[in-house]
Amino acid sequence: MNNYKVIAMIPARLGSKRIPKKNIRYLLDKPLIQYPIELAIQCERFDSIWVNTESEELGKASQKLGANFHKRPEELATDTATNREFTYEFMQKHKCDYVVMINATSPLLKLETLNAFLDYVDSNCYDTIVSVIKQKEETFYQGEPLNFSLEEKVNSQLLEPTEAICWALTAWKRDNFMKMQESGINPVYGGVIGRFSVPKNESCDLDTLEDWKIAEGMLMAERILTDERYMDI
């Protein structure tokens, strides 16, 4: 990140709906919000690290964990407030070249992946960099085969992948984002877009309690060594 000033923004509401208070809920052995904060600190490549939240309590708790507290105005903390609005408000207060949004809902993200993402931001000149999950699977879209033919079954390694945005990491060039927002154009996918591929086992959604259980299971699986055992045949 040689000449760039890059800052990390971790959006976190206290009033989450489908999983109540998920940001302060323990995921295995630590609160969810602690995962992205620790990751960003370990990375040592951010000029500053901010938790963007409407909650004084969550803000102060985040400070104890080593992040800065950006107080989001109440009106931008509703269910209908959009990413572009609270990110724009954040950018107004913090000068930098890039804002990297780290989502608390991706606690499985590894340091090496964050580093590779920052290298990708650094070595290109994109206005927006989204993180995607590449999938090489036979996929239908609107009922029709998208990347395969019904006439042939090919090795899935040869399929053209789909790339689904996972929102684990997103980077925006501040200048471009602010200019677009001020012109009334959606800046979330603004300008020239780069796509960065995140390993599928580091991505998870935490929309539902079921997702939460999966994430706990994946974290657990990383920590335990189960025996390699075979059936007698």
Site residues (vs a second copy, CB under 8 A): 14, 21, 24-26, 28, 31, 33-34, 55, 57-58, 60-61, 82-84, 132, 135, 137-143, 145-147, 150-153, 160, 162-166, 185-186, 188-189, 193, 195, 199, 201, 210-211, 213-214, 216-222, 226-233
Closest CB 147 distance from a second copy, rounded Å:
7
User: How near is the Cβ of 98 to a second copy at its closest, in Å?
Assistant: 19
Indicate the residue among 74 and 79 with the shorter CB distance to a second copy: 79
Minimum Å gap between C-beta 155 and a second copy is 10
Query: Measured between alpha carbons, how far is 81 from 168 in angstroms, rounded to an integer?
Result: 19
Query: What CA–CA distance (Å, rounded) separates 202 from 113?
Result: 9
Instruction: Compare residues 111 and 165 and give the one whose CB is closer to a second copy.
Output: 165
Nearest to 41 by CA among 62, 20, 12: 62
Identify residue 97 by its one-letter amino acid code.
D
Judged by CB, which is closer to a second copy: 1, or 28? 28
Beta carbon nearer to a second copy, 95 or 217: 217
Residue 72 has φ and ψ, to the nearest 5°, of -80, 135
**In whole angstroms, how close is the CB of 99 to a second copy at the nearest point?**
16
Angstrom distance (rounded) from CA 130 to CA 117 = 10
Q: Which structure tokens are listed for 159?
A: 């399929």
Mapped onto helix, strand or coil, the DSSP state of residue 222 is helix
Q: Nearer Cβ to a second copy, position 47 or 216? A: 216
What backbone torsions phi and psi does residue 223 show, to the nearest 5 degrees? -90, -25
CB of residue 1 vs a second copy: minimum separation in angstroms?
26
C-alpha atoms less than 13 angstroms from C-alpha of 10 in its C-beta half-sphere: 31
